[in-house]
Chains A and B, each alone.
Chain A
Amino acid sequence: MWYILIFIGVLTLAIFLPKLYWIAFEKPPRKPFILYSCVNNEFMIHRIGERVWVDTKGKQYSREEYEQKLPMMFYKQLLASGSMPDSIRGTALDMHAILREKSFFRLKANEIDAPRPELYPLFESRTGRAYLELPEDFFRITWRIEFIEATTNKIQEEKSQLFSAALFHNGFSFPAKFISGLPTFRKSCDEGYLIVDSKDQLFHLKMIKGKPFVKKIDVPEGVKFKHISCVDFNNKDFYAYLFSDKNEIYILTQANYKLINWAIEGYDPANCDLKIFGDLLNYTVIIEANDHQKAIALDKQYEIVDTYTEKWLVKEDMQEDWIFASLFPAQLSMTSDNSKFIRFYFTPSKGFDWIFLNLLLVAFHFIWLLKRKTKLKSHLADLGIVGISGIYGLIAIHLFQNKFFD
């Protein structure tokens, strides 16, 4: 029983002591805000905490100068101050075009490793109405596609059979591995869902006038999509960003269902956040990892025109982390920045500096046992526990004192 209590104690302390330590000593990383400037064809950096605006060569700008270098981002300010240019690189800056081409996309690692809803509303794509309406039924894809009416919680057999047959005739292999869409009525129009079937084939499903629309999409040989994020951008250039199991980023064009691979390297959806800013002339892709940010600028043909990487000090590089690694042999957490699932996330401390403290604590406990004139033989386990789990074990042993063996 004592060992169980010690185990529970060590586990609890390994969760909460590191948590308290980092609440007290963690410093926020200084992450820059990077955007590609179509005016001087290089990246512009805003160091937010320091209120400094620079380019990649370190040249400083005033806030106004910085905003003038990024007219697609700060067009409202430039219009207000009368400093909006008429054209850039021979392209007239028409406000309608700027607004049409402006887009922002963000995907966090914890949105990928997250519970999935398993039921989705399939909107009517051509209602003839100005606004979309939430359908009365939701679909799930198991051995077939089933529509379930929300009010009665009953399967709509006729509709389920109609859509299942349409998917089946287009070569869909049930069940679905991944379903992606925009399950909200707050969007400009409905484009249904992109679905990966059990054989990693990609399908587009939507409902037009109550009838199924199914399109099988040609996927390049060997490509398997593990995550898809549908988008609703004003220019209607593409349906979605698609992420392959090899961490490639694709887009699916709306005009001809073409999958285009953006030649972007360094993106790992498991532990990176992704931001994509689109404008009239460029896309700026920002890959944000724990310790660095990689910015990639693409032109409108999706060719890379420039890249820039900046590192920053993370807690692993700071003195506080060295002290942490000297105090605690490991840390346990129930949550992770990269997931929305609760798990027992175990992170061993960097290096082995903690061994010194562990040995010191073993010596302290040994002297404490000697002073109390206890039978040392009965307390060998104590010493082993402190040797391995360090401060967690020492506290646990003193909270749940080993009196059984005295």
Chain B
Amino acid sequence: MWKSVFYKEWLKIRWFIVGYTLLGVLGIGYMFLALKHSFAFTEGENMWHLALFQGHQFYSHFKFVPLAGGLTIAFTQYLPETINKRLKLTFHLPLAENKILLIMQAFGACSLLVSFLIFFGLFTGFSLIYFPVQMVSNSLITISPWMLAGFAAYFIIVLIILEPKWIFRFCYLLIGGFFMTIYFTLDGTAAYSHANSGLFILTVLLSVTFVFSAYRFRKGEA
């Protein structure tokens, strides 16, 4: 049965996740093409100096790309389910209600993970062509909270969409919006070295909060 749920979710998000991943890959391609151009015109040592001592981040355009991914997948996966409360049909499937939702959520999160892993791999691979491992490692520390923000946005939007009452949707949006800013507090390279593990734990905790809204959705707001 879980395969059928996976397939149903795939049908909903396939074009969006594929399109988003392609756009992301193209964006990363452009980013490194621009970097190659800068290396050719500005000289490698100047580019390194800018990155090491003047806080220049050639990847700064990537900042909100994972966030956009999280929002896209959350809306495409769950918005159709809430129109006319179609999700209630899903609850008639011969599977525990929470289990179905968990499978749906796992599918969405895994799709994002695959997408982000592709970005992460491409970013790391291309970066290692131009920069030594210390600089690449600091770049990865810098982009990690942006990646986590993609997942957090996905989980928060699911929580909001599944909530049946508009007033509470607004409340969740308020807290969720403020919460999201902690992933983007400072832009400094490697500034999140000591915070990434904490943010990772918070993001994992967020991943199961949809059950709260789902319960209220099932009960038609208790």
**A binding-site residues for B, Cβ under 8 Å:** 1-2, 4-5, 7-9, 11-13, 15-16, 114-115, 117-121, 134-138, 140, 148-153, 183-184, 334-335, 340-344, 396, 399-401, 403-404, 406
Pair B48/A135 contact, Cβ less than 8 Å = no
- Using a CB–CB cutoff of 8 Å, the interface residues on chain B facing chain A are 39, 43-49, 52-53, 128-132, 134-135, 138, 159, 168, 171-172, 174-175, 178-179, 182, 185-186, 188-195, 198, 202, 205-206, 208-209, 211-212, 215-216, 219, 221-222
A134 cross-chain contacts in B, Cβ below 8 A: 45-46, 49
Q: Which residue of A lies closest to B212 (CB)?
A: A1
**Residue from the list B134, B168, B192 in contact with A118, Cβ < 8 A:** B134
Once the chains bind, are A4 and B208 in contact (CB under 8 Å)? yes
Would A15 and B48 be within 8 Å (CB), given that A8-B175, A399-B171, A406-B222 are in contact? no
- The one of B45, B134, B172, B219 that contacts A151, using a Cβ cutoff of 8 Å: B45
Residues of B within 8 A of A8 (CB): 175, 179, 202, 205-206, 209
Q: Are A153 and B195 in contact (CB under 8 A)?
A: no
* Docked CA distance A344–B39 (Å): 37
**Contact yes or no, B215 A404, CB < 8 A:** yes
Minimum CB distance partner of A135 in chain B: B45
Q: Which residues of A contact B46 (CB under 8 A)?
A: 134
Chain B residues lying within 8 Å of A400, measured Cβ to Cβ, are 171-172, 212
Residues in chain A near residue B212, CB distance under 8 A: 1-2, 5, 400, 404
Give A117 to B52 CA distance when docked, in angstroms: 6
Please, which residues of chain A bring their CB within 8 A of the CB of B130? 153
- Given the interface pairs A1-B209, A150-B45, A344-B198, the reply to whether A12 lies near B185 with Cβ below 8 Å is no
Residue of A nearest to B129 (CB): A153
Those 10 A-B pairs whose CB atoms lie nearest each other, nearest first: A150-B44, A151-B44, A115-B190, A403-B222, A150-B45, A399-B171, A118-B134, A117-B52, A342-B195, A1-B212
CA distance A170 to B216 in the complex (A): 71
Q: How far, in Å, is B126 (CB) from chain A's closest CB?
A: 12
- Which B residues lie within 8 Å of A334 (CB)? 182, 185-186, 195
Contact B193 A341 (CB under 8 A): yes
In the complex where A115-B191, A151-B43 touch, is A121 in contact with B129 (Cβ < 8 A)?
A: no
- Where chain A touches its partner, the secondary structure class is loop
Chain A residues closer than 8 Å to B174, beta-carbon distance = 399
Inter-chain contacts of B128 with A (CB < 8 A): 153
**Nearest-Cβ distance from residue A136 to partner chain B, whole angstroms:** 5
Cα separation A138 to B179 with both chains bound (whole Å): 39
Residues of chain A within 8 A of B129, CB atoms compared: 153
Neighbouring A residues of B211 by C-beta, 8 Å:
1
Q: Which of B188, B195, B208 contacts A340 (CB 8 A)?
A: B188
Contact partner of A119 among B132, B191, B193, B202, CB < 8 A? B132
Q: How far is the CA of A151 from the CA of B41 in the complex (A)?
A: 11
B194 touches A341 (CB 8 A): yes
Closest chain-B Cβ to A331's Cβ sits at a distance in Å of: 14
Cα A211 to Cα B91 in complex, Å, equals 75
Given A140-B132, A341-B193, verify A9-B175 contact (CB < 8 Å). Answer: yes
A residues in contact with B138, CB < 8 Å: 115, 118
Q: Could you tell me if A121 and B49 are in contact, using CB atoms closer than 8 angstroms?
A: yes
Cβ contact within 8 Å between A115 and B202: no
Which partner residue on chain A sits nearest B210 by CB separation? A1
Which of B48, B195, B219, B221 gathers most chain A CB within 10 Å?
A: B48
**Shortest distance in angstroms between A320's beta carbon and chain B's nearest beta carbon?**
22
User: Given known contacts A1-B211, A119-B134, A400-B171, what 5 new A-B pairs fall within 8 Å (CB)?
Assistant: A115-B188, A115-B191, A150-B44, A335-B185, A396-B175
**How far does the alpha carbon of A120 sit from the alpha carbon of B48 in the complex, in Å?**
10
In Å, the complex CA distance between A15 and B44 comes to 41
**Contact residues in A for B175 (Cβ distance below 8 Å):** 8-9, 12-13, 396, 399
- Determine if A136 and B45 form an interchain contact, defined as CB atoms under 8 angstroms apart: yes
Q: Given the complex, which residues of A lie within 8 Å of B134, measured CB to CB? A: 118-119, 140
Q: How far is the CA of A289 from the CA of B52 in the complex (A)?
A: 29
Residues of B within 8 A of A340 (CB): 186, 188, 191
A/B interface sample: 14 pairs, CB < 8 A:
A5-B209, A8-B175, A12-B175, A121-B45, A334-B186, A340-B188, A341-B193, A399-B172, A399-B174, A400-B172, A400-B212, A403-B221, A403-B222, A406-B222
Q: How far is the CA of A15 from the CA of B195 in the complex (A)?
A: 15
Q: Are A119's CB and B195's CB within 8 A? A: no
Q: Which residues of A contact B215 (CB under 8 A)?
A: 1, 403-404
Q: How far is the CB of A7 from the nearest CB of chain B, in Å?
A: 7
How far does the alpha carbon of A403 sit from the alpha carbon of B222 in the complex, in Å? 6
Would B186 and A335 count as touching, CB distance under 8 A?
Answer: yes
The residue on B at minimum CB distance from A400 is B212
Residue of A nearest to B46 (CB): A134
Query: Are the CB atoms of A151 and B49 closer together than 8 Å?
Result: no
Instruction: Give chain A residues whose Cβ lies under 8 Å from the Cβ of B44.
Output: 136, 149-153
Indicate which residue in B168, B178, B179, B209 contacts A401 across the interface (CB closer than 8 Å): B168
Chain A positions within 8 Å of B190 at CB level: 115
- Chain A residues closer than 8 Å to B48, beta-carbon distance: 119, 138, 150
- Quick check: B49 and A183 within 8 Å, CB to CB? yes
**Chain B: which residue is nearest A133 at the CB level?**
B45
Q: How far is the CB of A200 from chain B (nearest CB, A)?
A: 22
CA distance A406 to B219 in the complex (A): 12
Cα distance, A12 to B171, chains bound together (Å): 13
Closest to B48 in A: A150
